[in-house]
Amino acid sequence: MYNLTKQKGNKLKWILLIVAILLIAFLGMKYYQYNILIKVGNSLINVYEGKNYYYETNDITGDLTFPNDKKWIKNNKIAMQTTDNYNKGNTIWYMDTEKDNIYIVSKTTKTYFKMNEDVVQSMFDVGYAFINLPAICSISRSLVAKDIENLNEFYSVLIKMKFENDTYNGEECYKISYKDISYFNITWISKNTFLPTKSIHMFSKDAPIEVAYTIIPNIVEDKDVTFLDIDEYSLIENDEP
């Protein structure tokens, strides 16, 4: 009887040891993944605060459900061209945060429109130039900026994330997947820059949308954000061109 009890005790110790090892390994893996997200957030913030970068999103799906944006950012000026189902790429937005104005210029109709101050303020909220980032990148940036109010909710999201090694366009990447009841996202993060290169996301039963990302810091010149010569353009007072 003594030997049987001892054997059971030893077996329980081994089980507890294995459980402890697995738990430590799991926590170590999640800590490693947490640090990847921190690096992603830092990279995004460094690019944004550098105030000189080119940012492009390209809807690989091809139906223009997700807008194809091209943004040139230098200091306090932004030039943006958008192509989607409503805008075929002939309109350029010029924004100047110092002068609090946004001009929307249409090359097709040779017209331009100046937005009111209320709209301008909303457009220049922190991170505007990074609109349409993958959810995983937005979470990473908020984590570094300490904008996440409920850390327990974040940790529950982190537990659900899956990290894999992959390549995109010949570049080594972290492939990060996240899924909940109504949303699914896979994002490829460059191991070199810790910036997004591609993302696939889907809401509920909608068709998945695949988007390619290009973020290049310190490449924008003054000419890229200089307002067009509009001597031959007409001003539209209360409507967009």
Chain segment 93-109, per-residue pLDDT in tens: 777 666 556 777 777 77
> How far apart (Å, rounded) are the C-alpha atoms in residues 100 and 96?
6
Averaged pLDDT for residues 104-122: 69
Specify the pairing of strand 209-217 against strand 52-59: antiparallel
Q: Which domains does the chain have, with CATH numbers?
A: 38-236 (2.50.20.10)
- Whole-number pLDDT of residue 126: 45
Chain segment 55-98, per-residue pLDDT in tens: 988 888 766 566 678 888 888 788 888 765 555 555 677 776 66
- Whole-number pLDDT of residue 66: 65
- Whole-number pLDDT of residue 241: 45
Report the 10 Å Cβ neighbour count for 239.
Answer: 7
- Whole-number pLDDT of residue 95: 73
Chain segment 33-47, per-residue pLDDT in tens: 889 999 999 999 899
- Whole-number pLDDT of residue 240: 47
pLDDT over 90 at 111, yes or no: no
Structural contact between residues 136 and 178, judged by C-beta atoms closer than 8 angstroms? yes
Chain segment 137-194, per-residue pLDDT in tens: 888 888 887 777 667 777 778 888 899 999 999 999 999 998 877 778 899 999 999 9
- The letter for the amino acid at 136 is I
- Whole-number pLDDT of residue 122: 56
Largest CA distance in the chain: 101
Backbone angles phi, psi at 178, to 5 degrees: -145, 135
- Whole-number pLDDT of residue 82: 73
Structural contact between residues 210 and 187, judged by C-beta atoms closer than 8 angstroms? no
Please tell me which residue, 100 or 114, carries the higher pLDDT value. 114
Name residue 71's beta-bridge partners: 55, 80
Q: What is the pTM of this model?
A: 0.79
